[in-house]
Amino acid sequence: MPQETNTLLNSLVEGYAFESACLELGAALIDGKAEPAAQVRLPLKMLNRHGLIAGATGTGKTVTLQTMAEQLSVAGVPVFLADVKGDLTGLAQPAEPSDKLTARLAELGHEFTARTNPVEILSLVGKGEGVPVRASVDAFGPILLARVLELNETQEECLQLIFHYADSNKLPLDDLSDLKAVISFLLSDGGAKALEALGGVSSSTASVILRGITIMQTQGLDQFFGQPEFDTADFLQVRDGAGVINILELPSVSSQPILFSTFLMWLLADMFEDLPEAGDLDKPKLVFFLDEAHLLFKDATKAFTDAIISTVRLIRSKGVGLFFITQSPTDLPDEVLGQLGNRIQHAVRVFTAKDQSALKQIIKTFPSGELDLQEALTQAGVGEAVVTVLGEKGAPTPVAWTKMSSPGSNIGPASSERLEQVRGSSALAAQYSAAMDRDSAREMLDAKAQAAQPAAAPVPEAAPEPSRESTPRQGRERQEANPMMDMAMDAAKVIGRELIRGFFGNRKRRRR
């Protein structure tokens, strides 16, 4: 073996020789051949330093993601995946062995073991067949909602003041109808003084926001908001020692990218508010994979981008690891990229001068070493990647041109029969499948308006009209004949509960 090759091999063997539990990513390629002695690993304890999986379409990013998710599950770490392409449900079904797969893994010094992973399939309401994931407008918050409504900075500030008014007046915002009711009240004669007292909210700006919400409703987007609100603590399930893999179906992400990417950030912000400080752990509490990560920053306001940056910086102390999946590291802001200590870069395709410029920037993000990064990044085959991770002491490992491992579960979607089994055995379906409706801002404002009307002449008593049902969380039945008492009881329920505002201005009520 040539001296240079031997030096590189020794450097990689030493650089990835960790004592703690690790994810087995693959084996280093030296002179085009996989070296089983040079195993490329990622310590579990360093996963909350976040990471990046990048590469051109068709280079193997999804299989890498699936391999990591499966090993995390085996290690007892729950996982959240955004399934944009619809092919991650294969994690719930064991792969069929083949001579080709067995031989490939043998090259790496690995063995094939078929595996069925514990999986929960989730969906944004109306966009899939999984367990519905909903958020209240309150919890979603003004900054995230402004992102979906594509408001400018001034309009976003006005929306924040409207949320502040609802918060101060104990008006719960469960769905978009509640928010519309608050805005409509502020624009009415009865709300003129309240609107003036807010300061900085013009009636014309409030009208623009109101129209935007109405358009969302006509497009069917209001179905994402309501009760029961999904408790992100349910992502932390462990079954029989294996972490549950939560797969959120996003089949229509291309038609509504801003909505879907923003909803993912709500999930992350909500989790940040829920979890206690954890410090450095032997393994993370959860690893969150964000596919199509570039959508998070497309046409984003400064407030939204700053909120993401703050979340990425601070959520690791809660024991959560984030992996951004995208085609190029240049898709992410430098402030985010600088927080991603674990890098898995699949092949970069260079066809234009712009691609060449991007390649130079990508090379600069890797630590210098003996590997010819330009050759590795442009010549890597499918299922190969250039890898560097943070070692157990926090220092980056030598850059390794790696032949990546494979999962024991099915690559591609699970069969329809298997999906039916997964959905039928869901531990979350009973809690979240049925939508609930309770008295909130709209009903409270309607009751206030009715109480303010002058008494009318007596009329024959009629049967009460159907009203929106209370949720089980309220623990009582509504008294339809006394709307003011309803409003007082709702307010009493909210008073005394801590309201926590997250990075995105969301109002998170403490869970019982």
pLDDT in the model for residue 255? 66
Q: What is the mean pLDDT of residues 490-505?
A: 40
pLDDT in the model for residue 185? 93
Phi, psi (5° rounding) for residue 110?
-110, 165
**pLDDT grade, residue 299 (50/70/90)?**
confident
Phi, psi (5° rounding) for residue 242?
-105, 135
**pLDDT grade, residue 111 (50/70/90)?**
very high
Mean pLDDT (the chain) is: 85
Least confidently predicted of 173-187, 230-244, 246-260? 246-260
The Cα diameter of the chain in Å comes to: 103
How many CA atoms lie within 13 Å of 269's alpha carbon, on the beta-carbon side? 29
Predicted structure pTM score = 0.83
Which of the given ranges, 342-346, 355-359, 454-458, 472-476, has the highest pLDDT on average? 342-346
**pLDDT grade, residue 506 (50/70/90)?**
low
Q: Could you tell me which of 185, 190, 144, 135 has the C-alpha nearest to residue 165? A: 185
Least confidently predicted of 100-104, 256-260, 267-271? 256-260
pLDDT in the model for residue 491? 36
**pLDDT grade, residue 261 (50/70/90)?**
confident
pLDDT in the model for residue 253? 60
- Structure token pair of residue 233: 């603590």
pLDDT in the model for residue 474? 38
| Residue found under tokens 């990218």 | 257
**pLDDT grade, residue 458 (50/70/90)?**
low
Query: Is pLDDT of 471 > 60?
Result: no
pLDDT in the model for residue 220? 74
Q: Which residue has the higher pLDDT, 435 or 73?
A: 73
Kind of pairing, strands 22-30 and 400-404? Answer: antiparallel
Amino acid symbol at 130 = G
How far apart CA 493 and CA 474 sit, in angstroms, is 8
How far apart CA 23 and CA 68 sit, in angstroms, is 7
Q: Which residue has the higher pLDDT, 270 or 252?
A: 270
**pLDDT grade, residue 460 (50/70/90)?**
low
Task: Please tell me the total number of residues recorded for the chain in this structure.
Answer: 512
Q: Could you tell me which of 295, 150, 167, 153 has the C-alpha nearest to residue 213? A: 150
Q: What percent of the chain has pLDDT over 90?
A: 56
- Contact criterion met (CB below 8 Å) for 71 and 284: no
Rg (CA), the chain: 26
- Sheet of 286-290: strand order equals 33-43, 22-30, 400-404, 384-388, 342-345, 51-54, 320-326, 286-290, 79-83, 245-249, 119-124, 131-133
**pLDDT grade, residue 269 (50/70/90)?**
confident
Q: What is the mean pLDDT of residues 113-134?
A: 87
**pLDDT grade, residue 346 (50/70/90)?**
very high
How far apart CA 168 and CA 351 sit, in angstroms, is 56
Q: What is the mean pLDDT of residues 227-253?
A: 90
How far apart CA 217 and CA 392 sit, in angstroms, is 50
Q: Could you tell me which of 236, 315, 296 has the C-alpha nearest to residue 49? A: 315
- Contact criterion met (CB below 8 Å) for 391 and 46: yes
- Contact criterion met (CB below 8 Å) for 55 and 78: no
- Contact criterion met (CB below 8 Å) for 432 and 132: yes
- Structure token pair of residue 410: 């099915």
How far apart CA 64 and CA 465 sit, in angstroms, is 56
**pLDDT grade, residue 54 (50/70/90)?**
very high
Q: Which domains can be identified in the chain, with CATH numbers?
A: 22-132+227-342+406-432 (3.40.50), 135-226+483-512 (no CATH)
Q: What is the mean pLDDT of residues 231-253?
A: 90
Q: What is the mean pLDDT of residues 24-45?
A: 96
DSSP-assigned beta bridge partners for residue 120: 246
Query: Is pLDDT of 493 > 50?
Result: no
pLDDT tens readout for residues 360-382: 999 998 998 889 999 999 999 99
- Contact criterion met (CB below 8 Å) for 312 and 50: yes
